[in-house]
A and B are shown apart, each in its own frame.
Chain A
Amino acid sequence: MSTDDIPPSSEAGDDETDGGGGVDATPVFVWGTNISVQDVNAAILRFLRHFRDPRDAGRVDPVMDEGKYMRAIHRILELEGGESLDVDAHDVFDHDPDLYSKMVRYPLEVLAIFDIVLMDLVARIEPLFEKHIQTRIYNLKSSICLRNLNPSDIEKMVSIKGMIIRCSSVIPELKEAVFRCLVCGFYSDPVMVDRGRVTEPHICQKEQCKATNSMTLVHNRCRFSDKQIIKLQETPDEIPEGGTPHTVSVLMHDKLVDAGKPGDRVEITGIYRAMSIRVGPTQRTVKSIFKTYIDCLHIKKTDKSRLHVEDTMDIDSSNASKSTEEDFLSDKVEKLKELSKLPDIYDRLTRSLAPNIWELDDVKRGLLCQLFDGNPLKLPSGASFRGDINILLVGDPGTSKSQLLQYMHKLSPRGIYTSGRGSSAVGLTAYVTKDPETGETVMEQQTVSIAKAGIIASLNARTSVLACANPTESRYNPRLSVIDNIHLAPTLLSRFDLIYLILDKADEQTDRRLAKHIVSLHFENPNLEELEVLDLQTLVSYISYARKYIQPQLSDEAAEELTRGYVEMRKRGNSPGSRKKVITATARQIESLIRLSEALARMRFSEVVEVRDVVEAFRLLEVAMQQSATDHATGTIDMDLIMTGISASERQRRENLVAATRNLIVEKMQLGGPSMRMIELLEELRKQSSMEIHLHELRGALGTLMTEGAVIIHGDNVKRV
């Protein structure tokens, strides 16, 4: 019968013949189908005794004679701890698919038998072992989206991923009650609690006493167990557009209590249950509406977020051994690995990044490096180097900087917020100012003006920073340094590995491409060429996998290339004709280059950083530097522009002016003699010098001389001392 068009979301599909809603039916009814207790019993015993992990196959070790779970049982007995046996459902499936399907479909019954078989087995090995060992199943063949749970999953074993959003306090639950007679002091035998109720004996059991209504509960002799309810919510990636997350209650018993805390991403394996609600005092309103919850068997913490991998959480001790690659299904991994072998993977990744944002390929390559990241390094000496790559985009308004930023924000996992409680910038305040002339309003944030030159977003909750700044003037002034254009502190600026200038260039070809791009955004233009790109989901998986599993190391050749290139870069600083050395590269650049090269190797899933990675890293750095660190007076790359905001040629000029001023003063003024007005000095200087000199420049030069103790300045008057 396939009339039911909502398929059960779990693989434990409900046969129509079983009655889709056997909720009220007693287990016997469900039991009555085709399952014999003896068969299941035998199947479980076979599984526990004989299951062998295929991964153990090659090993020759006497201990390996026993199956995986027999060893686990022995371990439990030896340690006298761990009162539960974790059973990987994949193992059950591999060993006996029929047992697996019975277990998933009738978990209450099968798990009860599991426990009995297990205790029998234990009793035979260690007759004196008294603790109860519980079977905890995990890692079902497939997990269900929370929102796809439906009535046909009730009473089935399910596996669900989600985020814990609330935990109740721990509730002690009475399991066995002990009573004492108030008359004779006799203690009763433990009375089992049955469905939340305990029957108080109304007569004292002691033959000699037999007092009635004398029994009272003795709390410290009762046996309690812990219980807790947590709320599990869908993770953001499972929520469809325009939807809100679903939640489900999960009941945790004993050892599972407090196994997770709010904010954790977990995978829960448990039994989906429904409980009738008593909605009104009369019989007729009972049992029409049900509450549902998952009775938890196993909880496993999963990654916090898609890209945030450094702090992979402590996975349950029981299965810590098999944490690698489990989040990536193996066929998916194969697909990613195939992609990584494509010769054009670098270009393909570049194309896939913000495909609707026009051009800016080298900027996108830099951003890719940021997404893939370098390796953070901690030396034994305690010195540590960051692995993250910081990027600043500076440019004309109207270029797609902020769109690029938003795209990166979207690509970075939604879950990055999970690492910090309270996701927004805490304590960030701002000041609103209004221009008295134009009435324009501006929001000033700390020292950076948000409207004009603001750092708008950071990519990652950790430390990779992607920032974007508009020039203080309406357009970028190529005659000024980056610092002068965006008014950002040099110390802050030097933290960026790559600074890109995105400027609007006049060029017919570019204009035409831009026009075509805009038109294609507005009309669904079928004529546009389709380049092969990775879809967003694949791109994210690709990056996550690389960041998690690929830790490239510098090859010797690559290290050599790095040194060679760096030396060459510094050599170029000796610009001909200048007697002063212009620094073109700083030590900080070496670190940047290593990080970029590592990221580039990661893009190919390569464990080795090769020469070509280093060459490309140099190219990326130079492209960015040519844009942002070119001294427009000399045409050379000058890192001083970034470090101090003053280019070497400008510094040279200032030094020359100080010298000229010093000479002039020595020439024209006597020690302790009468003072001269600044404006007179300026005129004299202008006569002597071919260069244009401004009063404020002279003032600056005189300031330097005053600190040397050569002159004293009183207002506009200068005195030689």
Chain B
Amino acid sequence: MVGPQYDLVGNPLGAVRATFERTAAAAASESGGADPVAAFRGKDWGAGDLFRSFLFEQDGLGKVPVLDASNLGLIKPNTLVRYRGMVQDMLGNEYYIGAFKDGSTWRTNKYTDFSPFSMPHPCDSHLWERHLFHCVPAPGQNSWTLESSPGPDVRRMPNCLAPELREKRKRDGDDDAMDVSENGHGESSFCKKPKEGDVHVSSSSTEVAGTVPEMNGGDHHIPGSSFSCLVKIYDMPESQVKLNDVIEFIGVYTFDPELAAPSDNPDDIMLDLMEDVTVQLPPSKVPRLHCLVWRKLSSHDFISRPVVEPSPSLLKGIRQSLLSHLTLVLGNDELAAQCLLLHLLSRLRNRVDVVTVGRLSLNFAGFNKESASIFGNQLYSLIQKLVPYSQAIPLSIDYLNSATLQPRKDNKSGRLVTGVLQLPQGTHLTFDETLLQTGSLTSKGVENTMLLKNLMESQKVDYDFEYYKLEMAADVQLLTLSEGKSNILPSDLVVPFRPSSVPTVNAGAEETESWRWYLATVRSLPQSTEPETYQMIQDEMVSAMRDDRSLGCSELSRWLTMAQIMASSFGEKSLSLEHWHMVKELERLRKQRMQ
């Protein structure tokens, strides 16, 4: 469509309204003026298409600034921004006057919190709805993921810079940067060190107090997170977005100091009683984003590597380099490295009632405090470099008794108070159980332990809704480092850890990137298994049971999981006998160690 006609980044609402008024006028002349906009409820009249085509077909995505804690306050309200965050809470629907008749012209309030034109009173109008989502930066998000899709530096984009700040820049007489961005090459300069005279939130915060959002530091519902965003989504069923989804939202950033002012209507007691959840998230602290386009992010979206065909030969090569690196990090314990690789490639593939298929939690036993600090730290920092979201949890009595693991609905504030276990799908958790000493667990400690156990056994987290618990499906990789086998967190796979050298680590950036790509690719590789394989596996299982009566349902099921991951790890789409035997050999070595 017509791209350059509008400044979609600097004035997205202009484009929204222009398309609306044009479409409405056309519809009016067609229908003979009856009510042309009724049909626009819950529909895109072409504005969304315009932005989609700009972002994805004309390479516009790279021109849209990324809204984050560093530039909040620099960005001019009503400009187009990108925001990546996890859906932390769903706040229901909001009704607003979507369209109203101003004289003979239909106008729209879509993608904004207020009406840009004064609305005649009374007037013909339409009530529309939008969904509200409270989003926070994804918990445990590793820093490398942020580099994957940087936006342009808003400081060099005059059309998107908050006016007060622009003024300040002019006064400072630093025209150099301005020139660059005015020539339209702003995005190339993001990696430059900020120059003296560049605007920092901190230096200007006093000057612009009250006119830019402040950080939402004191929100006890999401401790530790300083930056959240209230996203308003249009024209879709709410069920398309799930709690804990990590999503990139592209839309209009709004901030209106008038909206931030408290209600001046004290005599209306009704309003106070029906207090909205959004009152808890004042616009002065939580920016609003009216979403035009959104997409769920998978781990592939964080990898900047060009798209390559995942051929078995390519994957095999990377597998070898990753495995040898894991072996080095694990002090030359190759068995442990093999198991770790399978663990890192595991994901929840299927859930049948209470049976979960595909998970492979891992317990490295044989650590003490010293080795946990040497190997554990190396291991954890490697994991951080490999997966998009990871967290390390110190499993001590103290931690269990005091940590808030369970997300809980606060019915008084109407919001979900987050807990450690509110996690995006695919998160990796490392528990250090060497810190656990003999001691008493309080009822909270017991509850926390049960939550962890339940997560481990069924990949589910119970969220506390005061009057009932709501089970939320999770897909979390769990690694436990412990002295002996952990009975508190019973893992699928227990491996006594036997290092023979100190860990050595030095991985090049390019290697690391290829490993990330490998992990993301293998985990998403489809599996198609031939019916002949079913029979073969069944025969193998029966003969395995004949040889060892201690094999039970859960163990054989785990073998099959491991064999499937083993096949994928070589880039193979279907499982063969060879992989099954590799797993049996791994199990033999592992059991030897267990004795």
Contact = CB atoms under 8 A, between A and B. Distances in A.
Nearest to A275: B270
Contacts of A414: 468-470
A417 B467 contact: yes
Contacts of B538: 512, 515-516, 519
B443 A504 contact: no
B445 A438 contact: no
A418 B468 contact: yes
A21 B126 contact: yes
B233 to A, nearest CB: 14
Contacts of A451: 487-488, 490
Interface stretch (B49-57, B90-98, B135-143): B90-98
Contact of A441 (B242, B414, B487): B487
A249 interface: yes
B298 interface: no
Interface in A229-245: 229, 231, 233, 236, 239-245
A402 B353 CA distance: 13
A430 B446 contact: yes
B468 A236 contact: yes
Contacts of A263: 467
B456 to A, nearest CB: 12
Nearest to B366: A439
Contacts of B269: 171
A435 B365 CA distance: 13
A275 B259 CA distance: 17
A440 B486 contact: yes
A280 B265 CA distance: 10
Given A151-B129, A440-B484, A287 B119 contact: yes
B306 interface: no
Contact of A249 (B274, B411, B545): B274
Best-surrounded residue of B95, B258, B273, B355 (most CB of chain A within 10 A): B95
A515 B535 CA distance: 9
Given A518-B560, A525-B534, A151 B443 contact: no
Given A434-B437, A519-B537, A443 B42 contact: no
Contacts of B556: 514-515, 518
A171 B274 CA distance: 13
Which of B93, B238, B265, B467 has most A Cβ within 10 Å?
A: B467
Contact of B113 (A244, A288, A516): A288
A429 B38 contact: no
A513 to B, nearest CB: 10
A166 B483 CA distance: 47
A168 B273 contact: yes
Contact of B97 (A1, A288, A452): A288
B6 interface: no
A667 B146 CA distance: 91
Interface string B193-236: 00000000000000000000000000000000000000000000
Contacts of A522: 349-350, 357, 557, 560-561, 564
A285 B555 contact: no
A342 interface: no
Interface residues of A, number: 120
A147 B93 CA distance: 9
Interface stretch (B77-85, B320-328, B458-466): B458-466
Interface in A278-326: 278-293
B97 to A, nearest CB: 6
B542 A508 contact: yes
Interface in A502-558: 504, 506, 508, 511-512, 514-519, 521-523, 525, 527
A686 B128 CA distance: 94
B38 A281 contact: no
A431 B440 contact: yes
B96 A290 contact: yes
B123 interface: yes
Contacts of A245: 409, 465, 470
Interface stretch (A67-75, A205-213, A392-400, A622-630): A392-400
B18 interface: no
30 contacts: A5-B43, A16-B35, A20-B126, A231-B414, A233-B465, A242-B239, A244-B243, A244-B409, A246-B93, A262-B411, A279-B263, A285-B259, A292-B95, A354-B353, A357-B355, A407-B353, A414-B470, A428-B446, A430-B445, A431-B438, A434-B436, A434-B438, A435-B484, A441-B433, A441-B484, A441-B486, A516-B538, A518-B553, A519-B538, A525-B534
Given A197-B267, A284-B117, A398-B552, 13 more contacts: A24-B122, A242-B473, A246-B93, A278-B268, A279-B114, A279-B263, A284-B116, A288-B115, A289-B94, A289-B96, A398-B555, A407-B354, A439-B482
Those 8 A-B pairs whose CB atoms lie nearest each other, nearest first: A398-B552, A439-B483, A242-B242, A439-B484, A440-B484, A451-B487, A515-B541, A280-B258
Interface of A: 1, 3-6, 16, 19-21, 23-26, 147, 149-151, 154, 163, 165-166, 168, 171, 196-197, 229, 231, 233, 236, 239-247, 249, 251, 262-263, 274-275, 277-293, 354-358, 396-400, 402-403, 406-407, 410, 414-415, 417-418, 421, 423-435, 438-443, 445, 451-452, 475, 504, 506, 508, 511-512, 514-519, 521-523, 525, 527
Interface of B: 35, 38-39, 41-43, 89-90, 92-97, 109, 113-119, 121-129, 238-239, 242-245, 256, 258-259, 261, 263-265, 267-271, 273-274, 276, 349-350, 352-355, 357, 365, 397, 409, 411-412, 414, 416, 433, 436-443, 445-447, 449, 457-458, 464-473, 482-488, 490, 529, 531, 534, 537-539, 541-542, 545-546, 549-557, 560-561, 564
